[in-house]
Structure 1
Amino acid sequence: MRNVDLGWIRVFVEVARVGTLSEAARNLNLTQPAVSYQIRRAETELGVALLHRLHRGVQPTEAGARLYDILSRTVVQVDDLALRIRRGTEKTGLRVLTDYAFSALWMIPRMHEFRETYPDLDLQIVAAQRPALAHLEEGDIAVAFGSREDMGAEAILLMPETVVPVCAPDYEFRGFAHANLIHLDSASPAPWFDWAGYLDRAGLEARPAADGTSMRFNTYSLVIEAASAGQGVALGWRGLVDFHLKRGTLIEIGPELTAQNRGYFLLEGKSENAVTSPLRDWLLSYRVDRGVADQWSTTNSALRSGQSC
């Protein structure tokens, strides 16, 4: 079956919008017979009547109304795109694939910085529980959590996994044995610091009380929301809890631990795309290197000063 000839689209949209052939003809700088001809073409192509001919003007039929709903938006989008192309202001689209925690807690609070630095770039954040790293397209950038072994030699470690216990300022903390610990669900063993691993490595003898007071969530954003709401104590990932610490909705209550070969890595598509360089460079400007005082670690030092429970 042949495709529908779409040369009549703008004429039909204008007639349906204004409700008369004569006004549509004036707006399009056409004669009324020319407009009538295009409407007949459209009805012939689709095999149904698109307009009710009334005593004064026209009105879309049921099929015509459905068609108008689709085409009116399309015409506006095409006109807008054409205008931006002609003005030379069409934004370049970039795409970053990451998880819910990094997108919500790290990227969104910093998006204004990226937009101010690169106003002509349009950034799309594609968030998933586990980003599809095996299907990165050319020009895609991904920021994903894992180990060096998982991510490969070409991946760049942006943020090593550094955690510190956090709670709301008004939470009554009387030690880890008595605290409501907020857990992030994971497979066993966890691929990140969980409470059992943290307490063991920190040399703390306290263990969570087995009285059913602990809470569990399947996304890290909910873990942090629960902690900031005063529901208990969570393990705060440096980088992801920066803005909560800065605003004072969370404070630190225990020693900091770091897993240097595990954390958030930057990965790129199969072949480098120069268009993505600004996004790549912007992400790398926050890179945390071991023993190096850079933008990220300096910011967090300021956040940590004077905060205790």
Structure 2
Amino acid sequence: MAEAAGDLVIRGRRPVRDRALVMAIVNRTPDSFYDRGATFTDEPAKAAIERAVAEGADMIDIGGVAASPGDDVDADEEIRRVVPTVEYIRERHPDIIISIDTWRHEVGAAACRAGADLLNDAWAGFDPKLIDVAAEYGAGYVCTHTGGREPRSAPVRPDYDDVVAAVLDHTVGLAELAEARGVPREGILIDATGFGKNTADHLQLLRAVPRFVATGWPVLMALSNKTFVGETLGVGLGERLAGTLAATTIAAQAGARVFRAHEVEPTRHALEIVASVFDGRPPARASEWIA
């Protein structure tokens, strides 16, 4: 295992910041668990993208199919939903990293041709050709773990003897496979979350972030407004921000590098505080007087 992750370089883009990176979530779906289709149509999606950039997003993650079960969305429809959005971002914001949340190699290839940089494979290599697409285009690749769930299947928790070991073994194995197949090493990330877990599993994984960081692969965390936050606190979907930010600070202090987020500015602020306390990031504004 490597001792430490180097700088991320994702399809030639090197996002260097004095804090962990924020990946803004923009769903081009009518049935997202979080926004219920608020950015499904073009103009609201464009507005969300511009707001995310203004609030300090380093990456934008575009998804064309909800993770939960629902109406069938074939590859052609998924491409129709996401590719124009990629083209819009690339034209308007040439330096930002564009991520595509997909498990299909056809969608990944179409998105890369349009200018996407990172393939966020939330379904853990279900389509093995997606890794080859990342290699072909020199794109980045996110390695996840689902406990064997198929895309959009009903939620289920597999029986883990050790959930942390299971996620570590699978994501590191995928990362090594991706590198062996030609994906640039500096663009490969491992996700310490993923589908197929219950609340107790997610809390164990959050405690174990230092073990993921110690692998040397850059760690991505998908914590934003997740069910485990709501169940831990006993709150509904609209009351999960504080818990999300608490989990974010825990993972950032442990060394996670990228955070998927629905709320960009609060997430960036949390990451800046962590970086200032633990990594010497200077205050944005300082006074000689103590209030």
TM-score of the pair, normalised by structure 1: 0.22
TM-score of the pair, normalised by structure 2: 0.23
Question: Who wins on radius of gyration, i.e. which is larger?
Answer: 1
